Amino acid sequence: MFSKSCEYAIRATIYIAVQSNQDRRVGIKDISKEIDSPEAFTAKILQQLSRERIIDSVKGPNGGFAIDTERMSKIKLSQIVLAIDGDSVYKGCGLGFKECSEKQPCPVHDKFKVVRNELRKMLESTTVLELSLGLKKGLTFLHR
C-alpha cells in the first residue's frame, strides 16, 4: 500500500516525536537503528520530511531532528504520506490496473473504493502525537 520510503518516514516521524516529547534531538544513526532502515536511505527521507516542514533539522554539535511539541497534535499521517508518496494511495486500482475507473471498473473497484476512503479518513484523522504516545507507553513498536 505504501512505498518503503513512506513506511520509514512514518516510523522515523513517530520516533522523532517520542524523543522530542522528552526534549531530545535525535541523529540519523539513532533513527535508522531504531526504525531498522539503512542510514543513507533514512537521511534522504528525513531531508524530504524537513523540506516539507514535518520535522525540524538542526545542524551542529547539538543538532539533530525534532518536532515542536505543539505541532505534533496538528501533524496528520496524511501529511507524511503526501510528502513521500503523493496522493497515489487514494487513487490506485486494487488489482494494479492503470485503466480502472467508474466507467471501466476492475472486479474489485467498488469494494476497494470503500477501503481507500476509510484509509483516507484514518490518515487524515490520526496525529503524530497520538501515535507517539502509544509508542512511549509501550503499547506499540517500531521494529521487531
Question: For residue 122, what are the domain limits?
Answer: 4-136
62 lies in a domain? yes
On whether residue 144 sits in a domain, the answer given is no
CATH of the domain at 63: 1.10.10.10
pLDDT score of 62 more than 90: no
Q: What percent of the chain has pLDDT over 90?
A: 77
Is there a domain that residue 29 lies in? yes
pLDDT class of 136 with cuts at 50, 70, 90: confident
**Residues 100-117 pLDDT 10s:** 889 999 999 999 999 999
Structural domain count of the chain: 1
Residue 141 within a domain:
no
Q: Is residue 104 in a domain?
A: yes
Tell whether 143 is covered by a domain. Answer: no
The pLDDT of residue 13: 97
Q: Retrieve residue 74's grid coordinates.
A: 496538528
Average pLDDT of the chain is 92
Greatest Cα pair distance in the chain: 58
pLDDT digits (tens, 9 = 90+) for 25-39: 999 999 999 999 999
Other CB atoms within a 10 A radius of the CB of residue 80 amount to: 26
The answer to whether position 52 is within a domain reads yes
What DSSP string describes the chain?
---HHHHHHHHHHHHHHHHHHTT--B-HHHHHHHHT--HHHHHHHHHHHHHTTSSEEE-STT-EEE--HHHHTT-BHHHHHHHHHTTGGGT--TT--SS--SSS--TTHHHHHHHHHHHHHHHHH-BHHHHHHHHHTTSS-S--
